Structure 1
Amino acid sequence: MRLLKSLFMSHAHHRHFALLDPHGRCVAFKQCSLPPVGEGWVEVAETHLGWMNRPLPASARLNPLAVQAQPQQALAS
């Protein structure tokens, strides 16, 4: 039965985020499908409790996807 449910139900992809204080130390983690609202949240590859109250290692951060600028069309009057 569980197999049937898993075939028909969509699964949200959860991403990992870390909240950094003004000194760059990790103070919280969150897993969600959309980025958290507020300042200080950065996306990380995984949640690692050893990072709490310490600066994140450079390898932990994920680079944000490059936003492609879409050309704006001039409106004809």
Structure 2
Amino acid sequence: MIFFWSLFVRRQPRRHFALLDESGTCRALHQGDVPPTGGRWVEVTESRLGWIGQPLPAGAWVTPVVSRPAQRRALAA
């Protein structure tokens, strides 16, 4: 029965992260649901082994989503 339900449950795709050193060079790659702790991990669009030892390409960075809180309005009396 679990197998049957697993056919219909959608899992979120794994996220990709790259560890950067002080000069911005990629030192490691990681895939997971949450960002790793410790070090300078940044989210990237995909994992490519050719990036290790190289600066990340500009298009590899995932831009963080910045949300603004809803503006507060005074309630009309």
Q: Give the TM-score normalised by structure 1.
A: 0.74
Alignment size in residue pairs:
72
> Does residue 69 in structure 1 map to residue 73 in structure 2?
no
Cα displacement (A) at 1:34:
1.4
Q: How far apart, CA to CA, are the structure 2 residues paired with 1:59 and 1:27?
A: 18
Cα displacement (A) at 1:33:
1.0
List alignment gaps of at least 5 residues for structure 1: 73-77
Aligned residue runs from structure 1 range 1-77, under 5 A = 4-7=4-7, 11-69=11-69
Amino acid aligned to 1:21: D
- Secondary structure, aligned partner of 1:63: coil
Q: How far apart, CA to CA, are the structure 1 residues paired with 2:40 and 2:57?
A: 16
Superposition CA RMSD, Å? 2.5
Identity %: 44
Cα displacement (A) at 1:69:
3.0
Deviating 4+ runs (over 6 angstroms):
none
